[in-house]
A and B are shown apart, each in its own frame.
Chain A
Amino acid sequence: MVIIEDFLIIVLQVFVPIALAALAGTISERGGMINLGLEGMMLMGAFAGAAGSYFFNNPFVGLLLAMFVGAMMGLLHAFFCIKLKAHQSVMGVGINLFASGLTAVLLKMIWNNEGMSVSVKVLPSVTIPILNKIPIIGVLFDNQSIHLYLTIIIGIVAFIIIYKTKIGLRYRGIGDFPKSVETAGINVAKYKYWSVIISGMIAGIAGSYLSISLNDIFVKDMVAGRGFMGMAANIFGGWNPIGSLIASLIFSIAQAFRFYLTDFKIPNQFIEMLPYIVTLIVLVGAKSKSRSPEALGKE
């Protein structure tokens, strides 16, 4: 039992940032906007989280700041892509590079260190009484990060909005046939702006998980591909919030195994490679089944 519980704890730690990134990707891509800058937006969120917690000595300010910074990055992405007709993927690459450079510059400026910040206050973890006594799945409710609950809530709310409301219907239409939705008198750009802003905000939350929940520190380039893995989970999940959550869970189970492979004489590098190889295999396997929004990446 303890082994399974330990395993679940690791799975959840890997799950939260990837799932949030996958949801951020879904929300942006359903509206037809590729958000390749997720990685950078997460990094900015991680930095803002640590900086907010450091300067105000309050991790909740860090979380809010991470959301704000993420949203601003989303606004920047949306403005350049929609108003200035920037190439969406290229813009994403630009944002990732920008975030990597700017956070490193600010890191040196604030903490006078090229590699990492000082240790900051972390968000308190949540224990839900009674439920935490359930065997095995009790770990879900015992001493867990606020971010885990945020992830599940965001996933469910996004699912309901996208599939069960009028706004969601229009929004899905925009991802597939923006021209016809526009003909119906709907302000397509406004929807797109909000989807990318919210996507950025969620990416910010995802980043803050790394710096003020899982760790108590900001490390240079600490997102380390989780944003891209989230994008892959979004594709695997068929551009569906619940699908994204399930895909992220499968990814994190595959990743969690790597902690148990250290006993065998496999070189460390191959174990570290595992998540990326799994992502590739999943992409090759998943593509035939799901369909991307028709107008993805087009204006």
Chain B
Amino acid sequence: MENKKKNNSIKIFFKKLPLQDILSSFLAILLAFLVGSFIIYFMDYSPIKAFSALFKGAFGDQRAIFNTIAMSIPLMFTGLAVAVGQQGGMLNIGAEGQLYIGAMGFVIFTLLFPNLPKIIMLPIGFFIGMLCGGLWGAIPGLLKAKKGINEVIVCIMLNYIATLFTSYLVNGPFKGEGMEAHTNPIPASAQINRYTSDSLLGNTIVIALITIVLIYIFLWKTNIGYKIRTVGKNRTAAEAAGINVTFIIILTMFICGAMSSLAGITEISGNIGRFRESFSPSYGFTGIAVSILGRNHPIAIIFTALLFGMLNAGSMYMSMTTSISTNITIVIQSLVIIFVAAPKLFSLIKTGKRVNI
């Protein structure tokens, strides 16, 4: 009996993540690398040399592997922030701004109360950071639910405002010692330990994996999660079924914001140790690619975030050993988005039909 139930849940899991989706995601990645190779080739470079440098930088030794995993952690969170929005029928393009606001909330709290013991500091600090990011994320939700304003444009405007506002804080009232635009270091009790001294990986990976599983359970095993997905599938039908759509939309975006904040908070608590102006290399936007490639499924996001973390970690080594710009990884990431966004692409290739425009 127990076994049968387990079997069933595995079946349901695969039903939610069909093999065809996994296959076409793989094809999209392959195609993106192929087009990326062409671009590198046209730049008079050997794609083989470039990509072998990329892979060496990402998987060369234990330190490289640890860094690859560490660099995928913020992407897991921003990917999750986009995925929750997509499940609720919204494109959360505001993760970048939510990340900054949430991280700033965390840093300010830890700087204001530096003497708290770790066991109190971390949970309250995380909570406050997530609250700040969540409220920031709820703004586009509120405007969408109440006024019908497209969340995409609101998110974009809020990204600029958040970036500028945090820039003001680190250049003004919270400017730390030194020339750079950053805050003072956060107290040791607010920091999460790393596994080795020469790589970035630490216990933040545990937080990331637990969060992902919790979000999965929340979306598929709870009443509110079910409502979020219903609103995402069909807002009108959800309204007819008596769901408080306004509340659900705002809540969804609040959760998105809280998830984005975790990207910033863990990055600061586990790696940087302070808020530095524009510390995020557009994690928020890469999160969109991570989520879409993972078909907006929390578990799948673990793997797509690892792929993108690998690209980021490897591209640094690649740009050190060749003269190709690290931005080539942005091109590859964007190609992945473009190829995954087009569901008909692979059925077109498969059937081999001539494309008539």
Contact = CB atoms under 8 A, between A and B. Distances in A.
A109 B343 contact: no
B93 interface: yes
Contacts of B39: 102, 105
| SS class, residues of chain B in contact with chain A | helix
A23 interface: no
Interface string B58-99: 000000000000000000000000000000000101000000
Interface string A83-116: 1111101110111111011101101110000100
Interface stretch (A10-18, A122-130, A154-162, A267-275): A267-275
Nearest to A103: B327
Interface string A200-236: 0000000000000000000000000100100110010
A54 interface: no
Interface string B319-357: 000011101111111110110011111001000000101
B242 to A, nearest CB: 26
Interface string B31-70: 0000000010001000000000000000000000000000
A280 B150 CA distance: 11
A136 interface: no
A107 B331 CA distance: 13
B6 interface: no
A93 B288 contact: yes
Given A100-B330, A104-B327, A231 B338 contact: no
B171 interface: yes
B147 A91 contact: no
B276 to A, nearest CB: 16
Interface string B144-163: 00011110111011101100
A36 B152 contact: yes
Contacts of A114: 325
B26 interface: no
B281 to A, nearest CB: 12
A276 interface: yes
A232 B143 CA distance: 14
A284 interface: yes
Contacts of A91: 338, 341-342
Contact of B345 (A84, A269, A273): A84
Given A267-B168, A273-B160, A273-B165, A104 B153 contact: no
B303 interface: no
6 contacts: A93-B93, A95-B334, A97-B285, A108-B325, A235-B150, A273-B165
